[in-house]
Amino acid sequence: MTSTAHSPAELLHRLRARTSASPVTHVEQIPAREGRTAPWPSWASADVIAALTAQGIARPWEHQATAASLAAEGHHVVVATGTASGKSLAYQLPVLSRLHDDPRATALYLSPTKALAADQLRAVARFGLDGVRPATYDGDTSREEREWIRQNSRLVLTNPDMLHHGLLPGHSRWATFLRRLAYVVVDECHAYRGVFGSHVAHVLRRLRRLAARYGGSPTFVLASATSGDPADAASRLTGLPVRAVTTDASPRGATTFALWEPPLLPPEDPFEDTPPTRRSALSETADLLADAVAAGTRTLAFVRSRRGAEVVATMTRRALDEVVPGLGDRVAAYRAGYLKEDRRRIERALLSGELLALASTNALELGVDLVGLDAVLICGYPGTRASLWQQAGRAGRAGGEALAVLIARDDPLDTYLVHHPSALFGRPVETTVLDPSNPYVLGPQLCCAASEAPITATDLALFGGDAARAAVDGLTASGALRRRPSGWYWTHPGRPDVDLRGAGGAPVSVVEASTGRLLGTVDQTSSHVMLHTGAVYLHQGVTYLVDELDLEDAIALVHQEEPDWTTQARDVTDVSVLGVRSYVDAGPVGLFLGDVEVTSQVVSYQRRRIGSGEVIDTRPLDLPVRELRTVAVWFTVSPRALDAAGVEPPDVPGALHAAEHAAIGLLPLIATCDRWDIGGLSTANHVDTEAPTVFVYDGHPGGAGFAERAYATAAAWLSATREAIAACACEAGCPACVQSPKCGNGNNPLHKPGAVQVLGTVLAALRSAGHSGSA
């Protein structure tokens, strides 16, 4: 089926016509841009240029030529330009020219996902260059293929996980490859943030150390989405000085970008005083996706969660089949956790045109080449402006006009953004946050390094200087390392068990009990919430109920069923202050950054009626307590100041709780985090602070940099939070302002007016104290 002839404006008009109320709060017209080319560099291989020309590339864009020449001269470089700006050519040109001209040279390509590496392999293979022998080396590669790749491939495409688990521990077998390593390409490097990014930073340092051990000194070429400070982020990631190329010279088709707020639903009982609720973003996205498919528009819908992607795909298929039987077969879901065979089949069907639309998680956000898409629907703000523009850029990749629509969820951040378009458009994207000095990352990574080769005193500078010295001393005292004159040695027979993605153990396998069929996997951290006994679990549009969660064997047994209810886990949380790193004394208000210990336990779950959300019952669970040492930002307010602000003592718990929820919801506005990366706690009298307190903490061991960012920009963060609550039209609080979808207490108690008064008091005190932290 060919793509639609509808222009973005026509398609948007068609979508708007489906409702009498106007759901569009803002339309941003992003004009087309002419491209600027440059001559082929004189150093580039003639055969490589011929291969690129044969692919229809007459001349490189200016940013491609600039970045490629910097890399060819031996400078470490990051090219940070928009989606579909041709970043691949910026590293392909120097890498392939070097491999062509020097038959002994090798190169390593790293990407965050297997799909992106496979996409790059297809691109390089199309060039038909003799002697390069590109190959993917990942968890799907057979043992026989791995041996051939080690001995023959000169361009190995892999991911940080495989580099960490496979290549570096077996470095002696890769000695020739490492000695001849000329380039390391780090694609989509903005994806390496938080704890994952901090781990990857040390994996790259371990790679540099082992390459130097064999005589190699590679040049790093990084590709990134636009970010706040790409040179600094790339330097922290690699530990090297990096030059940035940020001026995008590629052509771009015009984009129509609409902000869409689902309409308010009529009250179920007009005589009851209940808070207004909006139609769910999932339902709205499904309807828009169905309308787009019916119009013949090739569309990709990004949905925040795996479950959400399944729901949108199922609802869209159902709606289409009611109009044209069989049309629903042109729509599918795509997410992590699918088996490799399923993912590849879906990718092929989309590229061939067999599928007209996908509902996907951010698994398709990165640079896999999806040609011919006309529109992108973004169901809920993806957490950062960088991700928003990556997702929006998936439409119009062939240079034609495109439509992007952000459909707001009923939560504080989404509501704020659709009514404050200036927070999205015309603003730089966020700085990538990662912290290689995090002791919960640094210690395990030093153990990995020592297991590969003894750590010398010279190596400590590579891994962070004073922080590495302190970590090595602690590891030596605990017996993990042993010091000898030649360095620090790993003391155990096996390799350290270190998970780069901070998932907290092996993923939990979801198995159909009656057949033994493996449906997919869920990370350990999410398993207590998603796979507890009695939970509703969705997979490829089919609903299952969890019969049993066995954490020891990491398996959840499920059976297929279609209940008329959903499930929501409830937990209890406590926070203990371990130490204060920094604080602002603002009289009746204190603002703190420090180390905390969080204990949490999922204790029950609610069954809620589909549609109405009515609570059917609450059922107890017996799951283990989880402990987390991390970093938090918190503020205290004296009871006298709360009283002066008009917050009555009985309303204090609800006021603080509402302020906590909204603050968590708005933090992604100023930090590269997701709402689910952070947690919070509020209390009218905390045992450690001896005052009314609101905590917001990183949901990763040792912290991920988000709390530090919140502390540094507290005024901007809390001002946006207060404004979002005050501007909401509801009376008592709703999901668009102070209710949270992840609240373990069922959003009780909440006091919306009190939250505005609390935040106003905090902001006034911080201003008086001269603390003007801004984004």
- Distance in angstroms (rounded) separating the CA atoms of residues 744 and 606: 11
Per-residue pLDDT tens digits for 108-133 = 999 988 778 888 998 899 998 989 99
- Check whether 526 has a pLDDT greater than 70: yes
Q: Is the separation of the CB atoms in 115 and 358 below 8 Å?
A: no
User: In 3D, which of 296, 263, 288, 293 has the Cα closest to residue 377?
Assistant: 288
- The pTM (predicted TM-score) of the whole model is 0.76
Q: Which residue has the higher pLDDT, 397 or 485?
A: 485
Pair 374, 396: CB distance under 8 Å: yes
Q: Look at residues 677, 676, 577 and name the one whose alpha carbon lies nearest to residue 635.
A: 577
Percent of the chain with pLDDT over 70: 91
Q: How far apart are CA 586 and CA 635, in angstroms?
A: 10
Instruction: Answer whether residue 398 shows pLDDT above 50.
Output: yes
137-165 per-position pLDDT tens digit: 988 888 889 999 999 999 999 999 999 99
Non-local CB neighbours of 435 within 8 Å, separated by 6+ positions: 198, 441, 703, 704, 705, 708
Q: Is the pLDDT of residue 575 over 90?
A: yes
Confidence of residue 301 (pLDDT cuts 50, 70, 90): very high
Average pLDDT, the chain: 88
Q: Is 606 within 8 Å of 618 (Cβ atoms)?
A: yes
Among candidate residues 76, 89, 440, the one with its CA nearest the CA of residue 234 = 76
Please say if the pLDDT value at position 503 is more than 90.
no
Q: How far, in Å, CA of 592 to CA of 323, rounded?
A: 57
Closest to 210 (Cα-Cα) out of 165, 179, 166: 179
The answer on pLDDT for 4 being more than 50 is no
pLDDT on residue 744: 65
Between residues 240 and 295, the one the model is more confident about? 240
Q: What is the predicted pLDDT for the residue at 391? A: 87
Highest-pLDDT range among 190-194, 211-215, 227-231, 360-364: 211-215
Segment 86-109, tens digit of pLDDT: 899 999 999 999 999 999 999 999
Q: What is the pLDDT of residue 424?
A: 87
Pairing verdict, β 357-360 and 331-334: parallel
Residue holding tokens 């399944």?
Answer: 310
Give burial (CB, 10 Å; 0-12/13-18/19+) of 3. Answer: middle
Q: Residue 3 has what pLDDT? A: 41
pLDDT of residue 272: 58
- Tell the burial category of 217 from Cβ atoms under 10 Å away from its Cβ (0-12, 13-18, 19+): exposed
Lowest mean pLDDT among 68-77, 264-273, 469-478, 499-508: 264-273
The fraction of the chain above a pLDDT of 90, given in percent, is 55
Q: Give the pLDDT confidence score for residue 141 in this predicted structure.
A: 87
- Give the amino acid at 677: D
What does DSSP say about strands 508-512 and 555-560: parallel, antiparallel, or unpaired?
A: parallel
Tokens read off for 57: 């590339």
Confidence of residue 572 (pLDDT cuts 50, 70, 90): confident
Strands (E), 131-263: 134-136, 155-158, 181-186, 219-224, 243-245, 255-260
Buried/exposed code over 65-83 (b: 16+ C-beta within 10 A; e: otherwise): bbbbbbbbeebbbbbbbbb
Q: Please choose, from the candidates 25, 17, 2, the residue with its C-alpha nearest in 3D space to the C-alpha of residue 374.
A: 2
Residue 21 has pLDDT above 70, yes or no: no
The residue with greater pLDDT, 279 or 754, is 754
Q: How far apart are CA 537 and CA 535, in angstroms?
A: 6
Distances in Å between the Cα of 579 and the Cα atoms of 333, 427, 441, 632 are 45, 36, 19, 10
pLDDT at 284: 93
Does 653 sit behind a cis peptide bond, omega within 30 degrees of 0 on the bond before it? Answer: no
The pair of three-digit structure tokens given for residue 64, joined into one six-digit string:
């491609």
Mean pLDDT of 394-399: 68
Query: What's the rounded Cα separation, in Å, for the pair 10 and 6?
Result: 6
Q: How far apart are CA 451 and CA 491, in angstroms?
A: 8
Output the pLDDT for position 49: 96
Average pLDDT, integer, range 472-489: 95
Contact 691, 656 (CB under 8 A): no
> Residue 467's pLDDT is what?
92
Q: Looking up tokens 């336990």, which residue turns up? A: 601
At 248-297, the pLDDT tens digits run 999 888 889 999 999 887 766 555 555 667 888 999 999 999 999 998 88
Whole-number Å distance between alpha carbons of 333 and 387: 20
